[in-house]
Amino acid sequence: MRHHNAILGILMGLAGALALSCDPVHDNGVDALGPETPGVPKGPRHRPGQPCIVCHDGSFGSPPHFTVAGTIYLNIGDLTPANGATVTLKSADGNGATASTNEAGNFYLSPQQFTPVYPMKVTVDYTGRKQAVMGGHVGRDGSCAECHTDPAGPASAGHVFVPVDGKTP
Amino acid sequence: MSMRSFFTRSSRSSRLGGLASLCALLVLCSVNACNVPASDNRVVVDAPDQATFAPVSTLLELRCGSLDCHGQSSRNLRLYGSKGLRLSQVGDAGRPSSEPDLTTDAERNENYLSVVGLEPELMSQVVREGASNPLRLTLLRKPLGTENHKGGTLFTEGDDQMICVTSWLAAQADADACKRAKDSHR
């Protein structure tokens, strides 16, 4: 009897896991990101400019969970990564965190490092340029690229860059 | 009657029956197609004043209209604003490149339609009641956190944000409260 209960429990757990992993909206979102760039292994430098938390969302079987993540570029007109930029986040509850970008321009924070209460304010510092201050705020999504997509237009400010005049688009 | 003639008659009558049904369906469809509501039979919304909406729009743009929230074109209560979703490109008609950072009248008009059109019947009721029970509106229950809201709790009862919106609903728009609310979230 005890064995039966254990097997039943395992089966129910597997069924639950399967049900959780079958989210067509999530799957479509992941598919829309396309394949990995050839020559860039999965890891801190992969998929710059993409909405990180589509995959790094903490769901069952996902890669490491991020709460805030994105890519910072140097210029408005090209995709040169801003290596070594400091991203400062200020949560609505007064807490804050900073993260540094790597050679791909990527930065990311885990839930253990920072879990923001929205709305969240963002600034970016980069040596030799003025501090970039986000004009609005982040309302609910920790992926920069959820809103900052290229090309810039009525629904997007374009990719995040560190402007010379200190004001983000 | 032979079996053959029985089946022949039977299939003929069934064909006639089918034709009659088709005709009846066509008549029904054409009657329904002509049965449009009378032009005077529309719901008229008792909408709050559009002339005093600008400060309310500014607050909603700032608090609710970020691109990942209601500044997303796929979301209901779509809000346009200078720091979020834009109605047009810089340099287009109505959005002069000399002032790209200002919300335009056209965008404010769209925001008004979004707010009024979210729950038009309830909005009418709230306006008719002089906003004595504004929490009928999802527009307020969501930011107050009394109804599940992915964007979290943004307003509290009696704060300047609430006063800004409810005073407008009550036709006593308090632009000062809107300004204080806006300034506290810069």
- Give the angle subtended at the CA of A93 by the CAs of A54 and B175, to the nearest 5°: 100
The per-residue pLDDT for range B69-81, each reduced to its tens digit, is 999 988 999 999 9
B135-144's contacts with Cβ under 8 Å and 24+ in sequence apart are B137/B169, B139/B77, B139/B115, B139/B165, B140/B165, B140/B166, B143/B63, B143/B64
User: Taking residues B3-24, what's their average pLDDT?
Assistant: 66
The mean pLDDT value of chain A amounts to 89
Could you give the C-alpha distances from A45 to A38, A77, A138, A145, B96, in angstroms and in order? 12, 21, 23, 15, 40
pLDDT category, B100, cuts 50, 70, 90? low
Please report the pLDDT score of residue A21 as a whole number. Answer: 61
pTM of the predicted model, to two decimals?
A: 0.77
CB contact under 8 A, A138 and B66: yes
B135 and B141 in contact (C-beta within 8 Å)? yes
Contact B67 A155 (CB under 8 A): yes
Q: Which residue has the higher pLDDT, B139 or A24?
A: B139
Instruction: Say whether pLDDT at B5 is over 60.
Output: no
Report whether pLDDT(B13) > 70.
no
**Phi and psi of B126, rounded to 5°?**
-60, -45
Q: Is the peptide bond before B143 cis (omega within 30 degrees of 0)?
A: no
Of A3-12, A157-166, B59-68, B170-179, the one with minimum mean pLDDT is A3-12
Q: Which of A57-71, A154-168, B49-63 has the lowest mean pLDDT?
A: A154-168
For residue A38, CA distances in Å to A43, A49, A164 come to 13, 16, 33
Strand locations in chain A, DSSP E?
Answer: 68-71, 86-90, 96-100, 106-109, 121-125, 132-133
Question: How do residues B21-50 score in pLDDT, each as one tens digit?
Answer: 887 887 776 666 666 777 777 778 899 999
| Closest chain A CA to residue B88 | A154
Question: Please, which pLDDT band fits residue A23 given cuts at 50, 70 and 90?
Answer: confident
CA atoms within 13 A on the CB side of A25: 1
Whether pLDDT at B6 is above 60 = no
Most confident of the ranges A126-135, A141-150, B12-21: A141-150
Angle, vertex CA B47, rays to CA A119 and CA B148, nearest 5: 35
Asked whether the predicted pLDDT for residue B182 surpasses 60, the reply is yes
Q: What is the pLDDT of residues A49-68, one digit of tens each?
A: 999 999 999 987 779 999 99
Predicted pLDDT of residue B98: 57
Q: At what angle do helices B54-64 and B160-169 cross, to 10 degrees?
A: 140
Residue recorded with tokens 């321009």: A105
What are residue A81's DSSP bridge partners? A73
Task: Please report, as a single letter, which amino acid is at residue A35.
Answer: P
Q: Which two tokens stand for residue B82?
A: 């200078």
CB contact under 8 A, A119 and B66: yes
Q: In the structure encoding, which two tokens stand for residue A98, read together?
A: 């900073």
SS3 A125: strand
A96 pairs with which residues across the strands? A90
Chain B residues with CB under 8 Å of A149 CB are none
Q: Which of A117, A146, A154 is opposite residue B68, by nearest beta carbon?
A: A146
**Exposure string for B60-94, b = 16+ CB within 10 A, e = fewer:** bbbbbbbbbbbbbeeeebbbbbbbbbbbeeeeeee
User: Does B7 score more than 60 pLDDT?
Assistant: no
What is the pLDDT confidence band of residue A13, given thresholds at 50, 70 and 90? low
State the CB neighbour count (10 A cutoff) for residue A137.
Answer: 21
Q: Residue B88: its chain A contacts at CB < 8 A?
A: 154
Q: Do B66 and A136 touch (CB under 8 A)?
A: yes
Give the span between the Cα atoms of B104 and B82, in whole angstroms.
8
Report H helices in chain A. 2-21, 24-32
Amino acid at position B101, single letter: D
Contact (CB<8Å) A140/B73: no
Mean pLDDT of B3-7: 53
The answer to whether residue A44 scores a pLDDT higher than 80 is yes
Q: Residue A22: is its pLDDT beyond 80?
A: no
Kindly report the nearest CA distance between residue B62 and chain A, in angstroms: 7
